Amino acid sequence: MRSLLSKTLYDQRRGLIGWGIGLAALVALMLAYYPTVRNSPELNKFARELPQGVKALIGGTVEYTSPAGYLNGELFAFMLPLLFLVYGIGLGSRAIAGEEERRTIDLLLANPISRTRVVLEKAAAAGLGIALLGVIVVVVLLVGGRAAGMRIGVEKLVAAGVSVVLLGLLFGSLALMLSSATGARRSTRGIAAALGVAAYFLNALAPLASTLKPYRKLSPFYWYAGNEPLRHGLSAAHAGALLALTAVMVVAAVVLLNRRDIAV
């Protein structure tokens, strides 16, 4: 491999292929089921009568049988964010801590390559992998949505895809930062996953609890879904906030790795 970036991409190729096939199959399955839902208006009544807490957790304020309501409820409110978080956290936790656990970090750093470059190229490889999964999701939505009779704008689908990619990048960078700070892959995954779950529930339950409302904007899920991309498109402010926080964590990962003694 001519660079650490290409080597990292090569190493994650099998996982990326498997995840891509799995996500494509999941999205295609949900789209295939939509014609049945579209012709069942009683589902809208059922969705409206759900308790507010349940509606908050599934992120549904739109008519469930509409294309935006169905895709949001079945994919973008919970399932896709969860999967992108799992993938991003997995990549971020393995980036540095995985090298240390395999006792390959000393061999890597024995080459004429700085710790800063290691972090940045590992982060770039993870970002490209997450972005590719987002492209797969959007392409399947565009092709399958048309076949399923969904009338939803291309820009709205792209906006939703970009939003879930940005969320995955954020939690991937969080895991990268923790990985650089601790060198412990399992604890990195556990902490990042726990923070992801906490952020999800904070955003979902804040509208229902006055004590949580002031803190809702601390949740990345608010910046991911607060603008409802499937209805209103991509918010520059929300996307910018996710990107800025991702950049801060990558920079922090560089600083932390440069200051820490590496386990060899």
- Residue 264 inside a domain? The answer is no
Q: Is residue 211 part of a domain?
A: yes
Is 201 contained in some domain?
A: yes
| Residue 196 CB-density burial (10 A; 0-12 exposed, 13-18 middle, 19+ buried) | buried
pLDDT, tens only, 211-264: 988 999 999 999 998 888 998 999 999 999 999 999 999 999 999 999 988 765
How many domains does one find in the chain?
1
Residues 6+ away with beta carbon under 8 Å from 171: 84, 85, 88, 89, 92, 192, 195, 196, 220
DSSP assignment of 132-193: HHHHHHHHHHHHHHHHTT----HHHHHHHHHHHHHHHHHHHHHHHHHHHHH--HHHHHHHHH
Can you tell me the distance from the alpha carbon of 214 to that of 202, in angstroms, rounded to the nearest whole number?
Answer: 10
pTM for this one?
0.92
- What residue numbers bound the domain in which 209 lies? 4-259
pLDDT score, position 105: 86
pLDDT in tens, 118-162: 999 999 999 999 999 999 999 999 999 998 888 889 999 999 999
